[in-house]
């Protein structure tokens, strides 16, 4: 075991293959532990601490220090938040320790970074990274790759860069930065949210209620609540999911698709009763799942056992068709029990969609998917 001390000036200190102690003291020092489980102390000044292989303990002290982390056993120690702006350069997935502000991921591996209670700056590498700021007003930059950015609590700045990036948003003060043609980017919003330019997909999470698209072709997906989804301009794909949702395609000249698929047999709790406010026949399309609604390939040919348009809601309950449209109310029903009165049990059949202002519909207004 070797102890190497600096002289108070700007020193470069290098250890051995064993467990060494490197003490920079004053000055802006560079400490390299090499092999072994080393102790590196920068002291005063803006130091660079690189323990090398092994589980190293690195203490920066005063100044803007840089720590190189390449072992899961490495420990970075900063005494308090008044000792400078400190940076971890990491070749592995890492969570910032207390009082360390910045993180820059290194190399080309798929690794992740997690912040702390400070206002963090975090930057990914060229691979697919996950960056989570946790607390504070953070700045997260994904750079290349398909990255996931979550600022956490606070007013954060999130920039994915090139790639198909996913942004987690939970504060109205969050700022999202994307340039056009940098990939297909998704916002997972825990608050009411409107997509800005260059974002394609919006998924509502938690207790969020409202989601609005932009002028591009968007995919909007609701949560279990009673959502209000508006695609805006562009040909949009809209899925309300559970809850009684209000869905608006947007510009009537665009072909909007409204999806009803749950991956399993129909259950009222999975879908609710939605309202489409601006459905345009021969332009917009209702997409039904064969698995969810129990319909066959003959639906598209107008098979009366699969689809029928009737005058009233009462007529719908006696229809032989599986999917029935009421001209009087613009309501679509799943008729689970055929010509028997009613639609089956409350959870396996009944109304699932209302088309505002629409009094005619046929099989050409649907697309059937698995």
Task: Give the pLDDT of residue 298.
Answer: 87
Residue 289's closest CA among 269, 307, 309, 265? Answer: 265
Task: Give the pLDDT of residue 89.
Answer: 98
Q: State whether the Cα torsion 141-120-60-15 is positive or negative.
A: negative
Integer distance in angstroms from the first to the last C-alpha of the chain? 67
- pLDDT tops 70 at residue 133: yes
Residue 62's closest CA among 74, 76, 87, 80? Answer: 80
- Tell me the mean pLDDT in the region 169-190: 96
Q: State whether the Cα torsion 212-216-222-226 is positive or negative.
A: positive
List pLDDT tens digits, range 355-368: 999 999 999 999 99
Report yes or no: 333 and 312 within 8 Å, Cβ to Cβ.
no
List pLDDT tens digits, range 39-92: 999 999 999 999 999 999 999 989 999 999 999 999 999 988 788 999 999 999
Angle, CA 230 vertex, CA 193 and CA 138 arms, to 5°: 15
CA distance 71 to 360: 67
* Domain regions of the chain by residue span: 184-254, 260-370
CA distance 201 to 72: 35
CA distance 170 to 190: 5
- The Cβ-side half-sphere exposure at 133, using a 13 Å CA radius, reads 33
**What is the percentage of the chain residues whose pLDDT exceeds 90?**
79
CA distance 136 to 116: 8
* Residue in this structure with the two tokens 């198909």, named with its chain if needed: 164
Which stretch of DSSP H or E encloses residue 89?
strand 87-90
List pLDDT tens digits, range 239-264: 999 999 999 998 767 899 999 999 99
Task: Give the pLDDT of residue 169.
Answer: 97
CA distance 175 to 250: 25
Bridge partners (DSSP) of residue 257 are 237, 285
Measured CA to CA in angstroms, residue 157 lies from 121, 162, 204, 234, 260 at distances of: 9, 16, 19, 27, 35
Report yes or no: 51 and 19 within 8 Å, Cβ to Cβ.
no
CA distance 230 to 238: 8
List pLDDT tens digits, range 298-313: 888 889 999 999 999 9
Beta-carbon contacts of residue 154 (< 8 Å; ≥ 6 apart):
119, 133, 135, 136, 137, 138, 171, 173
pLDDT band at 197 (very low <50, low <70, confident <90, very high): very high
Angle, CA 197 vertex, CA 191 and CA 200 arms, to 5°: 70
- pLDDT tops 90 at residue 214: yes
Q: Mean pLDDT across the chain, nearest whole number? A: 93
CA distance 48 to 195: 41
- The Cβ-side half-sphere exposure at 337, using a 13 Å CA radius, reads 13
CA distance 193 to 169: 9
Task: Give the pLDDT of residue 252.
Answer: 67
């Amino acid at each position: 075991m070797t102890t190497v001390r600096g002289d108070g000036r700007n020193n470069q200190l290098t250890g051995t293959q064993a467990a060494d102690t490197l003490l920079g003291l004053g000055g802006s020092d560079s400490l390299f532990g090499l092999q072994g489980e080393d102790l590196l102390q920068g002291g005063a000044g803006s130091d660079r601490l690189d323990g090398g292989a092994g589980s190293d303990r690195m203490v920066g002290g005063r100044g803007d220090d840089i720590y190189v982390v390449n072992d899961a056993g490495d420990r970075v120690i900063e005494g308090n938040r008044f000792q400078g702006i400190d940076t971890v350069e990491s070749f592995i997935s890492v969570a910032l320790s207390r009082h360390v502000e910045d993180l820059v991921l290194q190399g080309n591996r798929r690794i992740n970074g997690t912040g702390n209670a400070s206002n963090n700056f975090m930057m990914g590498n060229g691979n697919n990274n996950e960056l989570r700021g946790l607390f504070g007003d953070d700045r997260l930059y994904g750079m290349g790759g398909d990255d996931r950015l979550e600022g956490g609590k606070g007013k954060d700045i999130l920039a994915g860069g090139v790639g198909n990036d996913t942004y987690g948003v939970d504060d109205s003060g969050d700022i999202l930065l994307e340039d056009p043609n940098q990939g297909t980017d998704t916002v997972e919003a825990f608050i009411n949210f409107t997509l800005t330019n260059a974002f394609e997909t919006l998924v509502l999470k938690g207790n969020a209620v409202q989601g609005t698209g932009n002028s591009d072709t968007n995919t909007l997906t609701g949560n279990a609540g009673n959502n209000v989804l508006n695609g805006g301009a562009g040909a949009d794909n809209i899925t309300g999911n559970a809850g009684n949702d209000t869905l608006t395609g947007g510009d009537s000249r665009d072909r909007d698709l409204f999806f009803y698929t749950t991956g399993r047999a129909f259950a009222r709790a999975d879908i609710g009763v939605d309202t489409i406010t601006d459905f345009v026949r021969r332009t917009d399309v209702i997409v039904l799942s064969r698995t969810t609604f129990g319909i066959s390939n003959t639906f598209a040919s107008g098979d009366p056992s699969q689809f029928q348009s009737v005058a009233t809601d009462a007529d719908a309950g006696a229809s032989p068709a599986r999917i029935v449209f009421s001209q009087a109310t613009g309501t679509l029903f799943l008729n689970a029990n055929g010509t028997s009165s009613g639609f089956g049990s409350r959870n396996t059949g009944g109304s699932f969609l209302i088309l505002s202002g629409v009094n005619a519909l046929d099989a050409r207004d649907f697309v059937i998917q698995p």
